[in-house]
Each structure stands twice: as C-alpha cells, then as structure tokens.
Structure 1
Amino acid sequence: MPRILLIDDSAAMRATMRAALEGARELGPVVEVTDSSSGFEALRRMHGGAHDAVVIDIHLPDIDGLELIHFIRRSRHHRDVALIVVSSMSSARERGRAFRLGAHAFVAKPFPPEALVSAVRRSLATSQLGLRVAT
C-alpha cells in the first residue's frame, strides 16, 4: 500500500490531488494519503512515519518547496522517498533546480488528474530501484 504525503497550501488543490490518488487503481487497491498545508507541518508528519512518495508544491507559506526537497534528500530516513513537484511555476529553471535537488518528477499546474497519478506511479517505481528519472 503506497503511503503518499501531499504538501500544498491550497485546501482545494490538496482535495483534488487526494481524490485523484485515492481513486487511482494503477497505484494499488489501497492508497494511504495524508496532507499538509505547510513545509514545517510536512516535516513533522514525515518525522512521525514513513512515506513512499511526497508531492510538494514549490510555493508554501513557511518554507520553499525546493528547500524542503533539499532537507528531505539530506535526511538518512527519507532520502530515498519518491518526490514529485507540482507548481504553477514550471519554467526550465524551476524544473532544472527541482531535478538537481532530487525530484523524480515535475507536474505543471493546472494538470489533469491522470498526469499526477502517472508521475507518482513512475516516481514510486524509479525510487524503489534507486533511480531518478526526469519527466
């Protein structure tokens, strides 16, 4: 059962992503989704339990999502988690920085639910193999 943490300051976006992921049969029969509205709240949630994937918005109220990726990759407990960035800022610069910091995938907002599900599925598969693949 994949455990996924969603980090976005928009409650509507978190609800949309949750619905897409919980209804995605290609992720498995059961998907456990938790969410956070801020980076520091997400760090506390990650400290309390293991996640297989983390979906991170770049613009958060307390810490930049890219900085959060940096912290996660430096953690010996979470450095292998699949990281998927979602953002309305999808320039080549942001994408490049996300991948250099260790993201597995980047999904530009707005996105169809299938794009998020596909990115999470591919990221879970590559993280389990210890790979990082730009998408």
Structure 2
Amino acid sequence: MTLTVLAVDDSRTIRDMLRLALTEVGIEVHLAEDGVDGLERLAELEPDAIISDINMPRLDGFGFIEAVRLQDRHRATPILVLTTESAPELKARARAAGATGWIVKPFDPPKLVQALRMVTG
C-alpha cells in the first residue's frame, strides 16, 4: 500500500527535501506552502498522514492543525509537526491542537519515514 502524505512548509528547501526523502521510498507527496494552502489542498486529498511546520505566514501550524481537526474526515489523520522549535510549551500547544508527533529540523530522512510508518501503521 502506498502512503500519501501532505507536507505543509513555507520553506521551498524543506519542501524539496521532504519530496526527495519520501518519494524515494515510494511515498506519494503533496506539498503546500502554508496553512491556508494546506487546507485548500486537503479539500482534494485523503492523506494517510500530514506533516506541518509551525512558523508559517497566513496560517501557522497551530491554526492549521486545529482547522484540520475540526473536519470530521481528518479527525484521526496523523499529523507530525516538523519544525526548528523544540520548546516544551510549543510541543504541549501542538499536542493540544491535535498533533500526533513532533520532529525537529533538520530532519533525518530514515527517521522521518520510520515515524510516518509508525503513525500510519
């Protein structure tokens, strides 16, 4: 079974790195550049998991995660936060918003793939 992932990050470099790391192990990747773009793309997708940055223009990761969780069809979709932030209060806020897990940038591709397989497993 092919995993489908929506990755939301305002950094083109990170989006490119995610696409490369995930497509080379057979994961289908859809990219969005901020929370607003992510919600628009989510309307057309049924991803197995979502990866989201926190610090983004227009709609940050917390707002994006909360908006995703308000949608019945995505209430249980795993969401991994991928960010440079590591403060415990931000992790707690992300969990409260509905995040499933937290990965700090720069990410290790095999560990990211392993985390995705764990949460979608």
Q: Name the TM-score class by shorter chain.
A: over 0.9
SS at match of 2:72: coil
- Rounded Cα–Cα distance in structure 1 between residues aligned with 2:114 and 2:89: 23
Bigger mean CA offset, 79-88 vs 92-101: 92-101
Partner of 1:109: 105
The answer to whether 1:95 aligns with 2:95 is no
Asked whether the 8 Å contact 2:35–2:63 carries over to 1, the reply is: no
Alignment match, 1:42 = 38
Structure 1 segments, 4+ long, off by >2 Å, are none
Match of 2:67 among 71, 78, 81: 71
| Map of 2:114 onto structure 1 | 118
Please state how far the C-alpha of 1:43 moved relative to its aligned partner. Answer: 0.5
* Aligned position for 1:11: 12
The size of the alignment, in residue pairs, is 120
Amino acid at match of 1:77: R
- Secondary structure of the residue aligned to 2:55 is coil
Question: TM (normalized to structure 1)?
Answer: 0.83
Long gaps (5+) in structure 1 = 25-29, 126-135
The answer as to 2:57 corresponding to 1:61 is yes
Distance 1:23 1:99 in 2: 29
% identical equivalent positions: 32
2:43 aligned counterpart, secondary structure: helix
CA contact (8 A) 1:85 1:107 kept: yes
Root-mean-square deviation (CA, aligned residues, Å) is 1.1
Q: Which deviations, in whole Å up to 9, do the C-alpha atoms of 1:79-127 show, x marking residues without a partner?
A: 11110001101111111111222211100111211221122111112xx
